[in-house]
Chains A and B, each alone.
Chain A
Amino acid sequence: MNVTVPMPNLSLVVPEILMVILACGLLLVDLFIPKDRKRVVGYIALAGVVVVGVVTAAFWGKMAQPATTFSGTFVLDRFALFFKEVFLFTTGITILISLKYLEIEKVSLGEYYALMLFCTLGMMIMVSGADLIVIYLGIETMALSVYVLAGFMKFDHKCTEAALKYFLLGVFISGILLYGITLIYAATGSTQLAQVAAVIKEKGLAKNPLLVLAMFMLAAGLGLEIAMAPFHFWAPDVYEGAPTPITAFISVAPKAAAFAALVRIFYHGIQLLEPQWQILLWIICAVTMTIGNVTALMQQNVKRMLAYSSVAHAGYILLGVLAANQVGVQGIAFYFFAYAFMNMGAFGLVIYLRRENIVGDDIDDFKGLAQTHPLLAVIMVVFLLSLAGIPPTAGFVGKFLLFAAAIKAGFYWLVALAALNSVVALFYYFRIAKAMYMQSPEPLPQLSPGRGLVLALVVVGVFTLFFGIYPQPLMSLAKDTAHTFMMFLS
Chain B
Amino acid sequence: MMVLILAVVLIPLLGATINGLFCWFTKRKAHIIAVPAIAIPAIVSLILLARVLQGERFDQVLYWWIPLGDFRVPIGFLLDELSAIMITTVTFVATWIHVYSIGYMDHETPRGYAKYFCYLNLFVFFMLTLCLANNFLLMFVGWEGVGLCSYLLIGYWYEKASAANAGMKAFVVNRIGDFGFMIGLFLIYKHLGTLLFSQAFASAEQLSVGVATLITLLLFTGATGKSAQIPLYVWLPDAMEGPTPVSSLIHAATMVTAGVYMVARTHALFNMAPLSMEVVASIGAATALMAATMALVNNDLKRILAYSTVSQLGYMFVGVGVGVYAAGIFHLFTHAFFKGLMFLTAGSVMHALHGELNLQKMGGLIKKMPITGWTFVVGALAIAGIPPLAGFWSKDEILAGAFMGGHRIIWAVGTFTAFLTAFYMFRLIFLTFFGEPREKHLYDHAHESPPVMTIPLIVLAVGSAVVGLLALAPHGGIVGFLNRTLGEAHEAAGHEGGLTYILMVISVAMGVAGVVLAYFMYMKRMPDPVAMARNFRPVYTLLYNKYYVDEIYFAFIVNPVVGGSRYALWKFVDVIIIDGAVNGVGRLCRLVGGGLRYIQTGFIPDYAWMILVGAVVIYWIGRLF
Contacts and interface: CB of A to CB of B under 8 A. Distances in A.
B3 interface: no
Given A276-B622, A391-B141, A294 B65 contact: no
B593 A297 contact: yes
B600 A283 contact: no
Interface stretch (B254-262, B414-422, B466-474, B607-615): B607-615
Interface residues of A, number: 52
Q: Which of A216, A280, A298 neighbours the largest number of chain B CB atoms within 10 Å of its CB?
A: A298
Interface stretch (A16-24, A197-205, A344-352, A470-478): A470-478
B66 A231 contact: no
A165 B603 CA distance: 8
Contact of B21 (A216, A233, A375): A375
Interface in A255-290: 276, 279-280, 283-284, 287
Interface in A217-242: 220, 229-231, 233-234, 236-237
B53 interface: no
B600 A471 contact: no
B604 A169 contact: yes
Interface string B589-618: 110111011011010100110110111001
Q: Which of A234, A378, A427 neighbours the largest number of chain B CB atoms within 10 Å of its CB?
A: A427
A284 B611 contact: no
B68 A404 contact: yes
B608 A297 contact: no
B65 A404 contact: no
B579 to A, nearest CB: 8
Nearest to A424: B589
A434 B573 contact: yes
Contacts of B613: 230
B157 interface: no
A431 interface: yes
B20 A374 contact: yes
A contact face: mostly helix, strand, loop, or mixed: helix
A54 to B, nearest CB: 28
B501 interface: no
B574 interface: yes
A431 B594 contact: no
Q: Which of A212, A231, A374 neighbours the largest number of chain B CB atoms within 10 Å of its CB?
A: A374
A173 B614 CA distance: 13
Contacts, number: 116
A371 interface: yes
A378 B21 contact: yes
Contacts of A327: 68-69
Given A230-B610, A374-B24, A378-B20, A279 B578 contact: no
A173 B67 CA distance: 40
B contact face: mostly helix, strand, loop, or mixed: helix
Interface in A388-426: 391, 397, 400-401, 404, 424, 426
A230 B66 contact: no
B577 A169 contact: no
Contact of A237 (B586, B602, B611): B602
B520 interface: no
B71 A279 contact: no
B66 A229 contact: no
B125 interface: no
B65 A471 contact: yes
Contact of A430 (B24, B578, B614): B578
B607 A297 contact: no
B614 A295 contact: no
Nearest to A220: B615
Contacts of B24: 374
Given A295-B593, A472-B63, A233 B622 contact: no
B557 interface: no
Contacts of B614: 229-231
A172 interface: yes
B619 interface: yes
B611 A236 contact: no
B304 interface: no
Interface string B569-592: 010011001101000001001101
Contact of B622 (A168, A280, A375, A426): A280
Contacts of A475: 66-67
Contacts of B536: none
A475 B141 CA distance: 22
A291 interface: yes
Given A294-B592, A297-B590, A434 B574 contact: yes
Given A283-B618, A283-B621, A294-B589, A172 B608 contact: yes
A113 interface: no
A428 B597 CA distance: 16
A343 to B, nearest CB: 21
A438 interface: yes
A297 B589 contact: yes
Contacts of B586: 427
B23 interface: yes
Contacts of A469: 65
B578 A169 contact: no
B179 to A, nearest CB: 13
B51 interface: no
Q: Kindly list the 5 A-B residue pairs having the minimum CB-CB distance in the complex, ordered from nearest.
A: A230-B614, A298-B593, A233-B607, A295-B596, A279-B622
6 contacts: A164-B604, A294-B589, A401-B66, A427-B580, A470-B63, A471-B65
Given A165-B607, A216-B615, A427-B580, 14 more contacts: A213-B619, A233-B610, A237-B602, A276-B622, A283-B622, A284-B618, A295-B600, A298-B593, A374-B21, A375-B22, A427-B578, A427-B586, A434-B578, A438-B570
Interface of B: 20-24, 63-69, 71, 111, 141, 158, 570, 573-574, 577-578, 580, 586, 589-590, 592-594, 596-597, 599-600, 602, 604, 607-608, 610-611, 613-615, 618-619, 621-623, 625
